[in-house]
Structure 1
Amino acid sequence: MLFEDLRPQVTHILENNDESVTDRLYMICKLLKDNIDHYDWVGFYFKNEDKEELKLRTYVGEKTDHDIIPFGKGICGQVAISNKNFVVPDVQAQSNYIACSLTVKSEIVIPLFKNGENIGQIDIDSESSDPFTEKDERFLEFVNQEVAKIL
Structure 2
Amino acid sequence: MLFKDLKPKVVDILHTNSNSITDRLHAVCQLLSDNIEYYDWVGFYFKNGDKEELKLKTYVGEETDHVIIPFGKGICGQVAVSNENFIVPDVQAQDNYIACSFKVKSEIVVPLFKDGENIGQIDIDSETPDPFTDKDERFLEFVNLEVAKIL
Query: TM over 0.5, yes or no?
Result: yes
Secondary structure of the 2:11 match is helix
Corresponding residue for 1:110? 110
Unmatched 5+ stretches in structure 2 = none
* Whole-angstrom CA distance in 1 between matches of 2:17 and 2:97: 36
CA apart distance, 1:17 = 4.2
Match runs of 1:115-130 below 5 Å? 115-130=115-130
Corresponding residue for 2:10? 10
Secondary structure of the 2:27 match is helix
TM-score by length of structure 1 reads 0.99
Secondary structure of the 1:149 match is helix
CA apart distance, 1:16 = 2.6
Corresponding residue for 1:86? 86
Corresponding residue for 1:132? 132
Corresponding residue for 2:143? 143
Aligned-pair identity (%) = 78
* Whole-angstrom CA distance in 1 between matches of 2:16 and 2:70: 32
Secondary structure of the 1:42 match is strand
Unmatched 5+ stretches in structure 1 = none
* Whole-angstrom CA distance in 2 between matches of 1:52 and 1:102: 27
TM-score by length of structure 2 reads 0.99
